[in-house]
Structure 1
């Protein structure tokens, strides 16, 4: 649904946890899934007609038990931007 709402050249950013085995999060925080593999999200984006173009894994700053890695995926709508539309180019640093 998010891909459908993007304008041509628009970008979608997904932020979630990398796969983990912290089952207590299902009850304590209503997590339905225990993270997503990078390739699975890439596949969903491609199936939605988007062009994946960025992945970042942000590991925890400290190696404490239960610390999670945050994953960030970005994809763009590959449809050409109409000539009358202003370009909205952002660098990778501006996104994450």
Structure 2
């Protein structure tokens, strides 16, 4: 149950650090940007921060919740629900930032 949040955290760290290029796997390519590269890097940092926080919440749930449920199935479902919710919130936050930032 720890693999998902750890992968999410490891993917978010380079985004927060600004080490992801628009020409890399996360980017559309510099020639296809609808914004400046500076705006793109700012958006990637915000998205990375949102996913980092989501990963940390998910990791905390995976570490702290075991042993608090009657069955293993309830435990796994609760951790999966918290993880899915954290990822969904991070996705919405990053999308809202990017969509809001494209108007300016």
TM-score (norm 1): 0.25
How does the TM-score come out when normalised to structure 2?
A: 0.24
**Bigger strand fraction:** 1
